[in-house]
Amino acid sequence: MKLRRIGILTGGGDCPGLNAVIRSVAKPAMAHFNTTVIGILDGYEGMVEGTHRELTPRDVTGIINMGGTILGTSNKGDPFHFPMGTGSNIRIVDASQQVIEHYRNLKLDALITIGGDGTQIIANKLFDMGLNVVGVPKTIDNDLDATDITFGHDSARAVATEAVDRLQTTASAHHRVIVVEMMGRYAGWIALGAGVAGGADIILIPEIPFHWDKVFEAVLKRSKGAKFSILCVAEGAKPHGGDISVKQMDKKRTDPVQLGGIGELVAKRIEEETGLETRVTVLGHVQRGGSPTAFDRILATRLGTVALEAASRGEFGVMASLQQNNVVTVALKDAIGKQRLVPPDSQLVFAARAVGTCMGD
């Protein structure tokens, strides 16, 4: 297929590796296909509002190690759930026809959508409406199905692991319990990975509801020996029979639930029930920032080149995917069918338990 003009956007939350994908699509498109590459600004907001700029070889030079995204992004730009107005006058409208119009006005032959489950769900809807779409899986949460891992996750896990390493020393010095709240939404991959890598004493993840008495028992036992404890808590973790902690609701987002607060709750309950001095650290957006790891730079580059290759042969409605260390394409509809969560009986959970980590159950 002749690729005269292609668009590329980054949707949802930012993460390390986005620029590496942009580079791996744009450079070969310009060099080998003589394609004009249009950068859509701020995710799907740019497709709705028609904001974009043409990328040049200079734009995509020296960006493989840069965090964030040179195109900007947004998790509030779902064209099928688009917020219009400000303040109390916000109304939600279907702006998908504006996306179709701008796609045609830009004379695009294909649109590369880089993002997580929300971004790819939108991409699949646009494909059903007739657009030539190819997805690239991105999320620090690693919760997108049909790929073994998403780029961005390794970088976030590395940042979280370093945080645990640093908190170990201050927890030990002051004989404290330190609770570290990590991102991940409804999946516990970051907390589990960083917890195992950092040697956390307790790991609480959404997939394994915890019992308060098990947590109290574990920190009290530690207090009689090592005299400090580190807890890695995923933001979507919840007690057995309880609910997730919600920070606030944002109707401008397709998923209005903004998680947060479980770290504070766990720290408060531990101090009240055990009398042990407890502190909480919420890593928050620091997990999204900074340069990508070598693994994520390589994976992002592989995914981007395969996405462009798929577009060049007219294969649309698909997503690039890492499966058994090979990058292939899978149907978008299969990639968005379900979330990829931590299996409670997984080998990593087994390994955590084997070395004495309390999972709260």
CA atoms of 49 and 216, how far apart (whole Å): 52
pLDDT in tens, 168-193: 999 999 999 999 999 999 999 999 99
Burial 219-246 (b: 16+ CB within 10 A, else e): bbebbeeeebbbbbbbbbbbbeeeebbe
* Residue 218 one-letter amino acid: A
Residue 106: how many CA atoms within 13 Å on its side-chain side?
29
Rounded to whole angstroms, how far apart are CA atoms 76 and 45?
A: 8
The conformation of residue 113, written as its DSSP 8-state character, comes to E
pLDDT tier for residue 254 given thresholds of 50, 70 and 90: low
Number of Cβ atoms within 10 Å of the Cβ of 261: 16
Q: Does the structure show a pLDDT above 90 at 203?
A: yes
- Per the prediction, the chain carries an average pLDDT of 94
Angle at 290 between CA 288 and CA 293, to 5 degrees: 95
Mean pLDDT of 81-91: 83
pLDDT at 88: 74
Report the pLDDT value the prediction gives residue 338, as an integer from 0 to 100: 86
The torsion defined by the Cα of 169, 175, 177 and 179, in degrees rounded to 10, comes to: -20
Q: Rounded distance, CA 139 to CA 130, Å?
A: 26
Least confident of 152-161, 201-210, 259-268: 259-268
Six-digit token string for 97: 């026809």
Is position 165 annotated as part of the catalytic site? no
pLDDT of residue 276: 96
Tokens 């479980």 -> residue: 262
Instruction: Note the pLDDT of residue 112.
Output: 98
Q: Which domains does the chain have, with CATH numbers?
A: 5-151+292-335 (3.40.50.450), 153-289 (3.40.50.460)
Q: How confident is the model at residue 246 (pLDDT cuts 50, 70, 90)?
A: confident
pLDDT at residue 56 greater than cutoff 80: yes
Strands (E), the chain: 5-10, 36-40, 52-54, 82-84, 91-93, 110-115, 133-137, 177-182, 202-204, 229-234, 246-249, 257-259, 278-282, 318-323, 326-331
**Confidence class for position 162, pLDDT limits 50, 70, 90:** very high
Q: Are 145 and 338 a contacting pair, CB within 8 Å?
A: yes
Q: Is the pLDDT of residue 72 over 70?
A: yes
Query: For residue range 4-23, what is the model confidence (pLDDT) as tens digits?
Result: 999 999 999 999 999 999 99
**Residues 235, 187, 217: CA angle, nearest 5 degrees:** 60
- What's the pLDDT at 77? 87
Q: Is the pLDDT of residue 347 over 80?
A: yes
Q: Which of 14, 141, 143, 154 is catalytic?
A: 141
Q: Which residues neighbour 356 within 8 Å (Cβ) at sequence distance 6 or greater?
A: 201
What are the angstrom distances between the C-alpha of 83 and each of 17, 78, 284? 28, 8, 25
User: Is the predicted pLDDT of residue 1 greater than 80, yes or no?
Assistant: no
Over pLDDT 70: what percentage of the chain? 98
**Ramachandran bin of 248, using left for φ above 0, alpha for ψ from -120 to 50, beta for the remaining angles:** beta
Contacts with 205 (C-beta within 8 Å, 6 or more apart), sequence order: 184, 187, 188, 191, 192, 234, 236, 237, 342, 359
232-239 average pLDDT score: 96
Please report, in angstroms and rounded to a whole number, the separation of the first and last CA atoms in the chain.
Answer: 54
Tell me the pLDDT tens digit for each residue of 20-40.
999 999 999 999 999 999 999
Which residues have CB under 8 Å from 194's CB, separation 6+?
157, 160, 161, 163, 164, 182, 200, 232
In this prediction the pTM is 0.93
Q: Assess whether pLDDT exceeds 80 at residue 251.
A: no
